[in-house]
Chains A and B, each alone.
Chain A
Amino acid sequence: MNEAVIATEVALEVKNSDIFYGDFKAVLNLSMAYHHREITALIGPSGCGKSTLLRSLNRMNDLIPGTKITGEYLFQGKNIYDSDVDPVQVRRWIGMVFQKPNPFPKTIYENVAWGARINGYQGDLEELVVTSIQRVALWDEVKDKLHKPALALSGGQQQRLCIARTIAVKPEIVLMDEPTSALDPISTAKIEDLLDELKKTYTIIIVTHNMQQAGRVSDKAAFMLNGVLEEFGPTDQIFFNPKNPKTEAYISGRFG
C-alpha cells in the first residue's frame, strides 16, 4: 500500500451526515470521501454505525421505516438524497453485496442476467453473464450447470455469484457488508483475491469485522466508534501509526 495519500478523483462524498433510527442517533456528523478505484474499509466494533453508514450510501436505508438521514451524499456531483433523485437509479449505480450469500431462488444464469435485464441491457446478455461469472473466477465451477438452481452452490460460490450478479449491471461503486463473515477461510481467501482484481474497475467500500482482512485488502481505512468517524486515512497509517488513541486501542485489540 502506498504510504502517502495520492489525490484521486472522488467517487462518493458524504458531508455532515447524521443518521437516525427513530430517536436513536446511529451516525453523528460524519464527513468522508471515497476515492475512485480504491478499496475503503470501514472498521469498528459492533454497533458503531459502519453498516448503517454503508446502507446509506446507496439508499438501502430507505427500506427501513423510521430512518432519517441528513447531510449530503454527493455522487457524480449530485446529492443522492435530493427529492428529484430516484433511489432505484442510485442503487443501479451503487451496488451492494451482503453479509450472508443471498442468491435468488432461480438458476445461476438467471441470477446474473436478472439485474441487467430489468435495467434494460442492450448488449448480448449471454455474453455479459459469462464475462461476469468469469470475472469472479466462478466460471470453471459452474459452466456446466448455468441453468441449475443457484441455491445448490456452496456458500463461497454463492457469494461469488452474488458479486457477479452485482457487477453484471456495471455499477460505479460496490458496497460490501462483511461479505466473508459467513464463509470458511478458503472461500474468504478467494473473495479477497477477487477484490484486488475488481478494484481495477470499481470503487469498493467494504465493512469488515476482520482486522487482518481490512489490512490485506484495503487502500484506505476508516475507524468508527459510537457513530463517530474517529479516524480515516491510508490503511497502513491507520494500522501502524494511528493518530487517534481510540483507534490505537481498537487496533491493538483492547476493545471491540
Chain B
Amino acid sequence: MNDLEFQPRQVARKSLGNLWKAIFIAATLLGVLSLATLLYTIVDETFGLVALEFTTPPEELALVPNKAIEDHTSVELAAVVRQALEDGVGTLTPGIVSNYETLQAKPLEQWPKADILDMIYTDILEIEVQETFGLVESLFQKDRITIAVAEEYPDATLIFRSWMSGDFLTGDQSSLVLNAGIRSAIFGTLWTIIIAILFAFPIGVGAAIYLQEYAGDTRLNRFIQTNIYNLAGVPSIIYGMLGLALFVRALEPLTSGEMFGGVDPVTANGRTILSAGLTLGILILPVIIINAQEAFKAIPNSLRYSAYGVGATRWQMIWHHLLPASFDRVLTGTVFAVSRAIGETAPVVVIGASTFLTLDPTGPFSKFTVLPMQIYTWTARPEAGFKNAAGAAILILLILLVALNLSAILYRNHLRKTKEASS
C-alpha cells in the first residue's frame, strides 16, 4: 500500500527494536553471569594448590604410618611431640612444652587435638603458607605454578588442598589457618538462630493474626502496619546498634546471665548468644509478620465464613481453620526470614561476636561467634590462606542455606500433597 502521509521507517524501527532487545537480554545475562562468577570465585578459592614452607619436613616426625597428620588422635599427637622432643626435631624444647602445659593446666595428652596440632605446626614444623592458588589455575597451569613457586620460595612444598574438609567443619578455632575449624561458629549460628526463632516466630505470627483478622481500619492499626513496613526497611546495622545499647549494655545483668547466677560476674558481659539471638529476632520480626500476613491474605474468606456459619468464635476459626490452612505459607515465609538472619553479619559484629573463641558455646550466656562473623574476620585478614578458609566457610554457609530452603520447599510440597489427598 502506498503511504504518502506516513514514513513508517519499518526497517529502522525493527532494528532499533532488535538492538534494545539485545540490550535487555545482555543485562539479564549480566545478572546471571554475576551469580556464576560469584559462585565460581568461591569454589575456585576453596580448592587449589598451596605453597607451604617448613623448617622441619613432616617426614622427620614419628607419625603413625599411613595416617595423615590431621587424622591422629590427641594421644597419638602427644606421643609425636614427645618423640620430637627426644629426637631434637624442630625448635621445640621441653621447657616450652611444660610452660604450655602449665598454661593449659593439664598434660599434653589431655589437650584438645587442635591445640597440639597448632603446636606441632608452629613450633616443630614451623609451617607457613606462602601462597595459595585457585582451583582452575591449579588444574590447568600446574607446571607454571610449580616453576614460579620453585623460583620464589625455593624451600616450599606444593600440595593440593581442599580447604573445605571434615576437619575444617568439626575443628576448633585456630590462629593457624591450616588448622582452623568452624565448629564453634556453626554451633554459635545454631544457638542464635534458635533463640531468634523462639522469640520472633510467636510474636510475628501473633502480630500477623492481629493485623489480618482482628484489626479494624483505625488510625492506630494503620500506624502499626506502616511502622512494620518501615521496620522491614531499616538497615540491619541499626538493629545491631539497638542490640548493643539495649541487650548488651542496658540489660547486661539479664543477657550475661548474672541474674541467674552460675557465671563469673567479673568476666561476664552482655556480648552473649542471648543478646545476638534477640537482636536477630527483632531484625527478622517485620519480615515474619509481613510474610505471615501474605499467607493469611491468600486464604479465601469463604473458609472464615463457613467456620463462623457453624457458630465458631473468632479464635476457634483461626486456630482450627485459618492456621492449618495457611501453615505451609507461614512456614516458607519464616524460613525465608530465618535464612536472612543466618547470613546477617553487621549486627553480630556490632553486638560484639568474638573473633576468637576457645570454647564452644554451651548456652544462651556463652560468648559466641557465628559463621558470617568467621567469614568476615578471615576475609579481612591479609595473610595467605585466610581467604581460602573464608571461601570454604562461605561454601558451607551457602550449603546450609540451600539445604534449609530446599527442605522447607519439599516439606511444603509434602503438606500440599497430603492436603489435596485429604480433600
Contact = CB atoms under 8 A, between A and B. Distances in A.
Given A86-B14, A88-B10, A76 B5 contact: no
B10 A123 contact: no
B230 interface: no
A93 B13 CA distance: 17
A86 B4 CA distance: 19
B300 interface: no
Nearest to B17: A88
Nearest to A75: B1
Interface SS of chain A: loop
Interface in B4-21: 4-10, 13-14
A88 B7 CA distance: 14
A119 B8 contact: yes
Nearest to A121: B6
Contacts of B8: 89, 92, 119-120
Nearest to A76: B1
A89 B1 CA distance: 10
A120 B6 contact: yes
B10 A170 contact: no
Contact of B6 (A76, A86, A88, A170): A170
B14 A121 contact: no
B6 A172 contact: no
A130 B353 CA distance: 71
Nearest to A92: B8
B1 to A, nearest CB: 5
A122 B6 contact: yes
A120 B8 CA distance: 5
Contacts of A123: 5
A169 interface: yes
Interface string A171-197: 010000000000000000000000000
A122 B5 contact: yes
A76 B9 CA distance: 20
Interface string B1-43: 1001111111001100000000000000000000000000000
Contacts of A92: 6, 8
Contacts of A86: 10, 14
Nearest to A128: B5
A120 B1 contact: no
B6 A169 contact: yes
Contacts of A119: 6, 8
Contact of B7 (A76, A89, A93, A120): A120
Interface in A47-61: none
Interface in A127-167: none
A245 B14 CA distance: 49
A243 B5 CA distance: 45
Nearest to A89: B10
A93 B14 CA distance: 17
Contacts of A120: 6-9
A89 B7 CA distance: 12
A73 B9 CA distance: 24
Contacts of B14: 86, 88
A116 B6 CA distance: 8
A122 B10 contact: no
A122 B7 contact: yes
B14 to A, nearest CB: 7
Nearest to A123: B5
Contacts of B13: 88, 118
B5 A170 contact: yes
Interface of B: 1, 4-10, 13-14
Given A88-B14, A119-B8, 17 more contacts: A86-B14, A88-B10, A89-B8, A89-B10, A92-B8, A118-B13, A120-B6, A120-B8, A120-B9, A121-B5, A121-B6, A122-B4, A122-B5, A123-B5, A169-B6, A170-B6, A172-B1
30 contacts: A76-B1, A86-B10, A86-B14, A88-B10, A88-B13, A88-B14, A89-B8, A89-B10, A92-B6, A92-B8, A93-B1, A116-B6, A118-B13, A119-B6, A119-B8, A120-B6, A120-B7, A120-B8, A120-B9, A121-B5, A121-B6, A122-B4, A122-B5, A122-B6, A122-B7, A123-B5, A169-B6, A170-B5, A170-B6, A172-B1
Interface of A: 76, 86, 88-89, 92-93, 116, 118-123, 169-170, 172
